[in-house]
Structure 1
Amino acid sequence: MTVVDRLLSALPGTEEPAGEAPPPWAPGWRRSAVIGVATGLVSALLVVGPVLLTWRADPLGGSATGDALAVGSSLWLLAGGAHLVAGTATLAFTPLLAFGVLVLVARLGAREAMVSVSTEGGIWGGLLPRPLAAAVGAWWGGYVLVVAAGWVLAARGSFPPLVWTLALPAVLVPLLGTGLALRAVAADDPDVVGARLTPRLPETVRRGVAAGVAGAWVLVAVGVLVVLGAVVLGWPAVAAVDHDLGSSGAGTWMLDGVQVAALPNLAVWVVSFLAGPGFSVVEGASVTWSGVESGLLPLVPVLGALPQPQEFPAAVGVVGVLVLAVVGGWVARRSLGSVARLSRVRTKLAVALSACATTAVLVGLLDAVGGGSLGQFRLSSVGAPAAHLTLALFLTLLVGAVPVVLRDAWRLRR
């Protein structure tokens, strides 16, 4: 019996008399719907809770707690991918680490909703057994109810969300969480679930997906290391910006938390720089292979780690290509492990190409979800261009992937 089952069984009227139908909290859609609501509340509390604590320590202009609840709800929806309206400006910057945490919470909740649910019976939509599909649908419905409540609260505050962007916190987050949960279910019952969840992709494409996902993780890790190294080297400038802000107490912790949550966003910017497109912090202030252009930056401490305006030598672009080529070679070698040793070169090249494409597309999607607007005018477009980044990254990864495949073929012919 799970923890949720123990809590539900303690509710009045949930005892199961002998010889009667199972209680309403038995595995099924009712229990799943309750878990969906609980998942949404836990997810919201992770963001709204710190906002309420910070507001209580330093209320803005004596504003009421209801204002803090509205702002917290807006920030929770922002962390889930929604865009916020601030006057005439649009805030479309999703901290990717916070987004990942929300997906993880959704995954845990969806998996709990599927516990002990039967996988027998008819297949719904050609995908899932009907009892499992009902449980997933009920859980999703409960989660969406909390998102709707958050939207009602946020709409009354200073930063109302754009309605059409609620599709990300209400659909994308639970969809990713459900997908990860179904992978766990498929591992336990692959005959019923796993085969139906496997995408109908060509064999060579499907074999490269796992290596491509690993490559995306590696690139984000490389970007994070570069950002942390830049912060260490530029610490005096970072500390000076933090001092100019004058934040203290709970405000400092809140600001630091937001910067940590946005660390993967900055990592993707670094990858874009290595690949060639570069990134812009504000209009007129960009970092590319050619150099750093000056501009008035937002008062965000981590941005103090950016290098001073200057022109870069041509070697900077070469180093960027070499770094990504090494990652591309690693991705290709990893993808070769999914095909037979004596497979044709054409097959191995196709699998390596699939792996590199998966890596590039995933990084591009991260950039797209992360958004690129911190306001209006000079802050209306920040970060890396997702489409350009995806194409440039794919081509650069191939620089390292193709030689690895050809070398593998040459070694077999010796």
Structure 2
Amino acid sequence: MAGVIEMTARRRPPSPLLTRMRDRSPGLADALTGGAVAAGLGLASFAVLVMMLWITSPYPDSGPGGALHVAAALWLLAHGADLVRTDTLAGVPAPVGIQPLLLLALPVWLLHRAARDATDGGAADGDDGFEGGVEVVDIAVVAGPPLVSARTAWAGVVLGYLAVAAPAALYAAGGALRPSWVWTGVCVPLVAVVAAGAGVWSAHGRPGGPLRRLLGVLPTGVRRLVLGPDGRPGVAARAAAAGAAVLLGGGALLVAVSLVGHGTAAQAALLRLTEGWSGRFAVLLLCAALVPNAAVWGAAYALGPGFALGAGHVVSPLSSAPAPFLPPFPLLAAVPEAGEGRLVHWVAAGAVPVAAGVVVGWVVAQGAASAERGGTRPGGGCGAAWPPGRTVRAAALAAVLCAAVLAGLAALAGGPLGVTVLARFGPVWWQVGAAALAWLMLVAVPTAVTVRAWRCRAPQADGPRIGKQREEPAGGARKAGRPRKGTRPGRGWFTRTGVAGVTGGDATPADGDAKPETSPPAPDAAYTPFDHDAMYGLQDQQDDTAFGPYDFLSADPAPEP
């Protein structure tokens, strides 16, 4: 019987000693290793890309050591740390503070994956599937909580990541692009803490308890709008996310349309900036990494404050005043020409925040309507309707959250590129936040109230006929109690309060076309006429030629043998 396959439904749990050992040192060791590997993979990715561009470049300015220094500096820049360029013509160090937002996705994803794997690392280990020469096949393995605690996994990943980031920052300090120690000491640990915490939270099934504790300073009503009772985003959070997506998508669309319109200038800028194909490839990669920044700049342009291309040179729908000495760059070709804004600029820019406000108000109204109607049952009314005040508060809170998101993205998307004139590039965060709040308050709140009232009245105006009839059961029952014309009342008719004549009684015909009243009832009749109208409160038809629901049945069926 060595070939018998044993079908098991539960895997044997490990011993308590093994569990304790995994919880302590092996869990922390695995988390430290995972964090270090995540940092090493990020550094290696940047190093491979920079070395490939350096090898294919027809005029390399430095050796492989300089390329590796640049790779380490770019890796720190991806975390949000500012860099300092030392080899300037004036000899004055120039800051480089614009971080390509697309580069941030790589370290965040690596940290998230490392923290999640460190939390679930020992959960899948068990027996090897063979026991005493018998092959054991697990049909279902009951999943338990992760063996590594959340704090152990989180702390291990963060410490392991920073253990690699510190030597990388020291190594980058010897190159032409040196990291700013203040921004490096703030941004790199902040990214590691947040991304690793999100990974541990994801490994534990995304519970709502930690988020509720973070939002504990908010009032109860506001907290319910931000976070639902099941731990998912509430109405205000969903509406804010939808509004931010519309604003960013509209900004990206404005940039794309402007680039298409200025395609010749963008192509000339690319050809002037470099001659070799490797250099053009590097410029295109930089443009791709700056696409999220361009979307934020386009959203700031649509909201009204615009963005700065140098100190004192603001580009907005009302007027455009770019700096006269800008380097040729393909994305800068999308900037409108200097001068007063035209009507097409106003209409194109104003359509984006109006659309965002309508979307925010619509999402809030949908949440209010679903709470009002209490489900999808026929004839559901507005008995549990949100009051207009709560709808207004939800729309206002969504506007505040969306404005905060746009302000944070505006702060990340801009920064200095040098000194004096180049000291200010990108949108001003507080201006973008204030403009987004004003637009959304003006558009989202009236939209939410109007759509809520319309959706609340829609079931009463256009609801099904059966729903309206069931709202008046008393009148329908009284009308259904009257027999049709040409029939005699009998004891075998159904009523609202019960059923009469089931055990006996005369069988009454269903309509005027049945047999005359002189016909004697069939003996031992097993069929009793069924008045469908009386059951559902439908109105009786007064004419003799009306067709009833059960007129096709015989009024006097033959007795069963």
TM-score range, shorter chain: 0.7 to 0.9
CA distance in 2, matches of 1:390, 1:60: 44
**What's the secondary structure of 1:160's corresponding residue?**
strand
CA distance in 2, matches of 1:192, 1:129: 20
Per-residue CA deviation, residues 160-196 of structure 1 (Å, 9 max, x unaligned), is 11111014542232233224324423436x3876765
Structure 1 residue 310: Cα displacement: 2.7
Aligned twin of 2:218: 201
CA distance in 2, matches of 1:240, 1:54: 22
Equivalent AA in structure 2 for residue 256 of structure 1: L
Equivalent AA in structure 1 for residue 356 of structure 2: V
Residues 4-15 of structure 1 correspond to what in structure 2 (within 5 A)? none
Q: Does 1:333 align with 2:362?
A: yes
2:318 is aligned, of 290, 294, 302, to: 290
Task: Evaluate the alpha carbon distance shift between residue 228 and residue 31 of structure 1 in structure 2; reply closer, same or farther with a 3 A threshold.
Answer: same
Residues 2-401 of structure 1 correspond to what in structure 2 (within 5 A)? 28-58=27-57, 63-87=62-86, 88-116=93-121, 131-187=149-205, 190=207, 201-202=218-219, 203-204=221-222, 205-206=225-226, 207=234, 208-294=236-322, 295-313=324-342, 316-317=345-346, 319-339=348-368, 340-341=371-372, 342-401=385-444
Structure 1 residue 380: Cα displacement: 0.7
CA distance in 2, matches of 1:54, 1:378: 30
CA distance in 2, matches of 1:353, 1:111: 36
CA distance in 2, matches of 1:223, 1:328: 15
Task: Evaluate the alpha carbon distance shift between residue 182 and residue 338 of structure 1 in structure 2; reply closer, same or farther with a 3 A threshold.
Answer: farther
Structure 1 residue 270: Cα displacement: 1.0
Cα RMSD (Å): 2.9
30-39 vs 198-207, greater mean Cα deviation: 198-207
Aligned twin of 1:404: 447
Per-residue CA deviation, residues 330-382 of structure 1 (Å, 9 max, x unaligned), is 12222344442211111111111111211111111111122321112211101
Equivalent AA in structure 1 for residue 237 of structure 2: V
Asked if structure 1 preserves the Cα contact closer than 8 Å seen for 2:23 and 2:147, the reply is no
Per-residue CA deviation, residues 264-297 of structure 1 (Å, 9 max, x unaligned), is 1111111111111111222354311222224222
Asked if structure 2 preserves the Cα contact closer than 8 Å seen for 1:27 and 1:116, the reply is no
206-215 vs 33-42, greater mean Cα deviation: 206-215
Task: Evaluate the alpha carbon distance shift between residue 194 and residue 264 of structure 1 in structure 2; reply closer, same or farther with a 3 A threshold.
Answer: closer
Per-residue CA deviation, residues 237-258 of structure 1 (Å, 9 max, x unaligned), is 0011111112423222221111
Asked if structure 2 preserves the Cα contact closer than 8 Å seen for 1:147 and 1:169, the reply is no
Asked if structure 1 preserves the Cα contact closer than 8 Å seen for 2:23 and 2:148, the reply is no
CA distance in 1, matches of 2:52, 2:388: 60
CA distance in 2, matches of 1:324, 1:27: 52
Per-residue CA deviation, residues 373-406 of structure 1 (Å, 9 max, x unaligned), is 1112211101111111101111112222012122
**What's the secondary structure of 2:308's corresponding residue?**
strand
Structure 1 residue 229: Cα displacement: 2.0
Asked if structure 2 preserves the Cα contact closer than 8 Å seen for 1:345 and 1:405, the reply is no
CA distance in 2, matches of 1:185, 1:247: 49
Task: Evaluate the alpha carbon distance shift between residue 84 and residue 175 of structure 1 in structure 2; reply closer, same or farther with a 3 A threshold.
Answer: same
CA distance in 2, matches of 1:323, 1:221: 9
**What's the secondary structure of 1:349's corresponding residue?**
helix
Q: List gaps (5 residues or longer) in structure 1.
A: 1-15, 119-127
Structure 1 residue 198: Cα displacement: 6.2
**What's the secondary structure of 1:374's corresponding residue?**
coil
**What's the secondary structure of 1:372's corresponding residue?**
coil
Q: List gaps (5 residues or longer) in structure 2.
A: 1-13, 87-92, 124-145, 227-233, 373-384, 459-561
CA distance in 2, matches of 1:117, 1:366: 38
Structure 2 length-normalised TM: 0.64
Per-residue CA deviation, residues 213-254 of structure 1 (Å, 9 max, x unaligned), is 232223222222222222222111001111111242322222
Structure 1 residue 157: Cα displacement: 0.7
Structure 1 length-normalised TM: 0.85
**What's the secondary structure of 1:93's corresponding residue?**
coil
Per-residue CA deviation, residues 65-105 of structure 1 (Å, 9 max, x unaligned), is 11111111111111110001113211100111111333222
Asked if structure 2 preserves the Cα contact closer than 8 Å seen for 1:325 and 1:399, the reply is no
Equivalent AA in structure 1 for residue 154 of structure 2: V
**What's the secondary structure of 2:177's corresponding residue?**
coil
CA distance in 2, matches of 1:193, 1:305: 44
Per-residue CA deviation, residues 14-41 of structure 1 (Å, 9 max, x unaligned), is xx9xx97857998611101100001111
Higher relative contact order (CA 8 A, sep 6+): 1
Structure with the higher fraction of residues in helix conformation? 1
Equivalent AA in structure 2 for residue 111 of structure 1: R
CA distance in 2, matches of 1:166, 1:381: 20
CA distance in 2, matches of 1:132, 1:59: 50
Identity fraction in percent: 26
Larger radius of gyration: 2
